[in-house]
Structure 1
Amino acid sequence: RYMDMDDYGRLVSMGVRLQLNLPSLSGFYGTTAMEKAQRLLEAGMYSCWGSDCHRGAGIRNMYLERKLKKRVLEMVRNAGRDLPI
């Protein structure tokens, strides 16, 4: 079975760190993955992020809703590294 938000919440409460794969937010891996990534991001469950972009330009070119882009930028800044998006 697929995990639901309560499952992720339990993992996070146990100290498990969740990583956001940035292309998930743009629908690169399909609608289901995009919607789940958005919900987890909005719930503040991610502690780190990664990408398949290998450079900032790939992130900058992704289409993200304004609200999600704001959350992604917040995560990037909290990591101590600003990318020009």
Structure 2
Amino acid sequence: MSHSHSIGIFPASGGIGGGTVKHMLTRLPPTDLILISRHPENLASVKAQGAEIRQADYDDDSALHHAFHGIDTLFLISYASVEHEYRSQ
């Protein structure tokens, strides 16, 4: 019995995360991907291909805990600051 290795990407719908998703889709089937975003509606096209979509935000520890559950490998796209004003400059 084969077990697929789940790859999580958070956040998956921004510029860097979106590029990471696009690259990973050239290497893996979408069903191996768990994509986490504050705005999961922005990932509808990848969801239609078979990726699992989860919602979470840096500001919600509980949501992050649930979103990361069961992920074997996580690509965590970090920022120099968690302050929204800094990230949006």
Larger strand proportion of the pair: 2
Larger helix proportion of the pair: 1
TM-score over 0.5 (shorter chain): no
TM-score, with length taken from structure 2: 0.33
User: Higher relative CO (CA 8 A, sep ≥ 6), structure 1 or 2?
Assistant: 2
